[in-house]
C-alpha cells in the first residue's frame, strides 16, 4: 500500500517535470523563430507608422527625407533602392503613381504635398496603387513627363510622345485661331498664367506665341528650314524632330508688340525681355538658350524661349547664369 502511494507520487513529479520542459522548449522556439504571420504584422505596423516629409523633393536631392519616400515606394512594390538620393528610379516611380491618379495630380516626377497625401492614403490602406500601371509602355531611361527632363540634340523624346495633360493657358496670344501651339502641359501652363499676371501688373505687354508642337509638326518645320537655309544653318536655330522642347509641352515662345510679335534677339532688349531675364525664375521658368552658352546648348541665343523646370531649379539656373545641361550635370543622382 505504502509502496503504491510512493510510486504514484514519483510518477506525478516526473509528469510535471516533462510538461514544464515541453513548455519551456516551446517558449524558446517562439522567441527564436517568429512565424511568417508575425513578421508580416510587424512590417505592416512599421510601414503604417512611417512619417513622410513635408518638404518638396526633386532630382538630385539627398538625405533622410528622400530615404523615407523611397522606403514607402519600395513597400508599394517599386524597384527603388533606399539610397537617400532622389534618383531616376525614384522619379519613375513617382511619375507612375501620378499618372495613375489622373487629373487629381500633376505629372511632374516631383515629390510635393499632393504626392505626400497619395502616399499617406496608401499607408492607411485606403489607396490603390499598382506599379507599372501609369506608363502604358516601357520608355527606357528617358522619362518624358519629368519636369527636369533634358531635351536636346543628345536626348530625344519618343516619336509618339504626346503629353496627356495639355491645356491652353489663360494668357494673351497675338492670334485668335485655336491652334495646338497655344497649349502647354498643365504645370507649365499654371505657372505661365502667374508670370503673365505679374508682368501685366508691371505694365508689360507679354504675348504667348508658340507652345506645344508635335513630332510631325517639328519635322515639317525643320525640313522647310533646311530647304530654305541649308542644314548647317537650320541646325543652329531649329531642332530636328524629337529634339524639340516644344514637343515636351514645357516650353513657350513669348513676344511683345515692340518687336511686332516676332521671335528675334531684339526681344531681349525690350522691357518685357529684360523683365523676363530678371524674374522668370520666380515662376519656375528659365531662358533656355542664353547668350554666350551656344557651345553648350548648340542653339543660338533665344531670349524668347521659356522652359518650365520648377521654381527650385529655375532659381539656381538663372542666378548662376548656367544652362539646364550644366545644372543637371552638377546633380548627384
Residue 12 has pLDDT above 90, yes or no: no
Question: How do residues 60-87 score in pLDDT, each as one tens digit?
Answer: 999 999 999 999 999 999 999 999 999 9
- Note the residue count of the chain: 333
Question: How do residues 113-147 score in pLDDT, each as one tens digit?
Answer: 999 999 999 999 877 899 999 876 544 568 999 99
Residue 6 has pLDDT above 50, yes or no: no
What residue ranges do the domains of the chain occupy?
55-146, 166-329
At 77 the three-state DSSP class reads: coil
Class of domain 166-329: alpha beta
More confident residue, 34 or 5: 5
> What would the CATH number be for the domain defined by 55-146?
1.10.101.10
Name the nearest CA neighbour of 284 among 190, 197, 207: 190
Name the nearest CA neighbour of 66 among 119, 4, 111, 20: 111
What mean pLDDT do residues 286-311 have? 97
Question: Between vectors from CA 93 to CA 87 and to CA 98, what angle results, nearest 5°?
Answer: 125
Query: What are the residue numbers of the active site?
Result: 302
Residue 25 has pLDDT above 60, yes or no: no
Q: Which pLDDT score is estimated for 135?
A: 75
Unique residue bearing C-alpha cell 515662376: 283
Residue 29 has pLDDT above 90, yes or no: no
Q: Which pLDDT score is estimated for 128?
A: 87
Task: Compute the distance between CA of residue 288 and CA of residue 307 in angstroms, rounded to an integer.
Answer: 6
Amino acid at each position: 500500500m505504502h509502496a503504491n502511494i510512493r510510486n504514484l507520487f514519483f510518477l506525478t513529479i516526473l509528469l510535471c517535470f516533462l510538461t514544464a520542459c515541453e513548455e519551456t522548449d516551446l517558449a524558446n522556439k517562439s522567441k527564436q523563430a517568429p512565424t511568417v504571420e508575425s513578421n508580416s504584422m510587424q512590417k505592416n505596423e512599421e510601414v503604417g507608422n512611417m512619417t513622410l516629409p513635408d518638404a518638396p523633393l526633386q532630382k538630385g536631392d539627398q538625405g533622410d527625407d528622400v530615404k523615407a519616400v523611397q522606403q514607402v515606394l519600395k513597400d508599394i512594390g517599386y524597384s527603388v533602392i533606399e539610397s537617400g538620393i532622389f534618383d531616376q528610379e525614384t522619379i519613375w516611380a513617382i511619375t507612375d503613381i501620378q499618372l495613375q491618379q489622373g487629373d487629381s495630380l500633376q505629372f511632374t516626377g516631383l515629390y510635393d504635398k499632393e504626392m505626400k497625401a497619395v502616399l499617406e492614403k496608401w499607408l492607411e490602406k485606403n489607396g490603390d496603387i499598382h506599379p507599372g500601371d501609369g506608363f502604358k509602355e516601357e520608355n527606357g531611361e528617358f522619362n518624358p513627363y519629368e519636369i527636369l527632363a533634358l531635351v536636346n540634340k543628345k536626348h530625344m523624346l519618343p516619336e509618339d510622345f504626346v503629353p496627356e495633360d495639355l491645356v491652353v493657358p489663360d494668357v494673351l496670344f497675338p492670334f485668335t485661331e485655336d491652334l495646338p501651339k497655344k497649349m502647354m502641359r498643365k504645370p507649365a501652363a499654371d505657372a505661365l498664367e502667374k508670370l503673365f499676371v505679374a508682368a501685366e501688373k508691371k505694365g508689360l505687354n507679354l504675348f504667348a506665341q508658340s507652345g506645344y508642337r508635335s513630332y510631325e509638326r517639328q519635322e515639317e518645320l525643320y525640313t522647310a528650314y533646311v530647304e530654305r537655309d541649308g542644314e548647317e544653318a537650320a541646325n543652329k536655330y531649329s531642332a530636328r524632330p524629337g529634339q524639340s522642347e516644344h514637343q515636351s509641352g514645357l516650353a513657350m515662345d513669348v513676344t511683345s508688340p515692340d518687336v511686332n510679335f516676332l521671335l528675334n534677339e531684339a526681344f531681349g532688349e525690350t522691357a518685357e525681355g529684360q523683365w523676363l531675364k530678371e524674374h522668370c525664375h520666380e515662376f519656375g521658368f528659365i531662358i533656355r538658350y542664353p547668350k554666350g552658352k551656344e557651345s553648350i546648348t548648340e542653339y543660338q541665343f533665344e531670349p524668347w524661349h521659356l522652359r518650365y523646370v520648377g521654381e527650385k531649379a529655375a532659381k539656381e539656373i538663372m542666378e548662376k547664369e548656367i544652362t539646364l545641361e550644366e545644372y543637371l550635370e552638377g546633380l548627384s543622382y
